[in-house]
Amino acid sequence: MNAPVETLDISDWNAVADLAAAAARISALEDGKVLFCPKLRFALSASEARFLTPGILGDKAKSLAFDAKSGVLKHAAGDHVEIAAMMRRYAEMAERLVTTLLPRYAGQLQIGRTSFRPVGIEGRPTSLAKDDTLLHVDAFPTSPVGDRRILRVFSNVNMQGLARHWRIGEPFADVANRFYPKLRRPIPGSAWFFARTGLTRGYRSRYDHAMLAIHDAMKRARFYQQNVPAADFHFPPGSTWIVYTDTVSHAALSGQHLFEQTFYLPVAAMADPDKSPLRILETLAGRKLGGENPRYSAGRARRRSRSESVAR
């Protein structure tokens, strides 16, 4: 099996594409390919290079987390101001990249968390559900995505020549056909309970439930992990790649020093929404899976109205 990787010869984070090239790149992404930019380097200053150490982490987290909207930096030890500035710079460059390279998405993308992973993958103790060395598609237990896609930009900044080793698995349609029919339905009322008590940041739709269950089922299926058709690919230092991680089945087997920027894109903003995992799962289910429960939406609107009345 050949890795579904399409190489782009760009070295500029403001790489403007003509309409035909942009359409081809979007089509490749939505087909489940990885856009690989071997010459696109995220350069660190001499001062920033000192952060390429596990000691930068202030707790047991596997990565630093930065919210570009609020400016909040989590899990860091040391110079928070300079670390936050480095993370913000990556967020801004990644946003420029996707909006210039993929102009159809400009104005529709919602920026998510910026991460920096200074710890090596191999031998890192973790639970099965959090083990990134196992093939999976991305789904977030506490952050439902609803009717949105998960688009990510990665950059390997390792200075010791260590590549990021990925294993890329079968197409999402095959994953869905294999795992979705065996899933249990969500417990009635659980999505409302999770959102109401703050266990999730918003309503967990049937689609969110299905994606999280598929993510976990893939990792539990030992025979599947060992025998499913897959291809290995090594992303070298100084390279960047863009991928829909909710579609591309992937595992990170080795590597250290990785920047990552998450974006969310409404399914309706895609060039072909039928290629989304949401639409693929809805076809299998024979019903709509996305969107909020109307009762939850109405309740949230009433609570907001009461809160605004009190504030006045």
Give tens-digit pLDDT for 48-79. 999 999 999 987 788 999 999 999 999 998 77
**Do the domain assignments include residue 136?**
yes
Residue labelled with tokens 């350069």: 43
- pLDDT at res. 309: 44
Report residue 17's pLDDT band, with 50, 70 and 90 as the boundaries: confident
Minimum mean pLDDT among 24-33, 83-92, 191-200: which range?
191-200
- pLDDT at res. 308: 40
Kind of pairing between the strands at 5-7 and 34-37:
parallel
**Do the domain assignments include residue 185?**
no
133 contacts 125 by C-beta, under 8 angstroms: no
- pLDDT at res. 150: 98
Residues 178-228 pLDDT 10s: 999 999 888 888 988 889 899 889 999 999 999 999 999 999 999 999 999
Q: For residue 294, is pLDDT > 70? A: no
pTM, whole model, 2 decimals? Answer: 0.91
For the chain, what is the domain count?
1
> Quick count: other Cβ atoms within 10 Å of Cβ 90?
22
The fraction of the chain above a pLDDT of 70, given in percent, is: 92
- pLDDT at res. 293: 55
Minimum mean pLDDT among 134-138, 185-189, 272-276, 293-297: which range?
293-297
- Average pLDDT taken over every residue of the chain: 91
Q: Which residues contact 101 (CB under 8 A, 6 or more apart)?
A: 8, 10, 15, 16, 17, 22, 25, 35, 242
Residue 50 CA to residue 45 CA, distance in Å, equals: 9
DSSP string, 282-309: HHHHTS---S--HHHHHHHHHHHHHHHH
Report residue 125's pLDDT band, with 50, 70 and 90 as the boundaries: low
Residues 167-177 pLDDT 10s: 999 999 999 99
Q: Which domain holds residue 31?
A: 5-171+214-270
Residue 268 CA to residue 271 CA, distance in Å, equals: 8
- pLDDT at res. 16: 82
Closest CA to 102 of 179, 24, 166: 24
- pLDDT at res. 302: 43
Which is higher by pLDDT, 130 or 183?
183
**Do the domain assignments include residue 68?**
yes
**Do the domain assignments include residue 186?**
no
**Do the domain assignments include residue 309?**
no
Measured over the CA atoms of residue 154, residue 6, residue 120 and residue 167, the dihedral's sign is: positive
**Do the domain assignments include residue 80?**
yes
Bridge-partner residues for 168, per DSSP?
A: 231, 250
**Do the domain assignments include residue 188?**
no
Residue 167 CA to residue 224 CA, distance in Å, equals: 13
- pLDDT at res. 307: 44
**Do the domain assignments include residue 288?**
no
**Backbone angle region of 257, left / alpha / beta, with phi > 0 → left and psi within -120 to 50 → alpha:** left
Longest dimension (CA), the chain: 62
Give the burial class of 121: count Cβ atoms within 10 A of its Cβ; 0-12 exposed, 13-18 middle, 19 or more buried: buried
Bridge-partner residues for 152, per DSSP?
A: 243, 262
- Hey, is 225 helix, strand or coil? helix
Q: For residue 135, is pLDDT > 50? A: yes
Report residue 292's pLDDT band, with 50, 70 and 90 as the boundaries: low
CATH number for the domain including 128? 2.60.120
- pLDDT at res. 274: 97
180 contacts 210 by C-beta, under 8 angstroms: yes
Q: For residue 283, is pLDDT > 90? A: yes
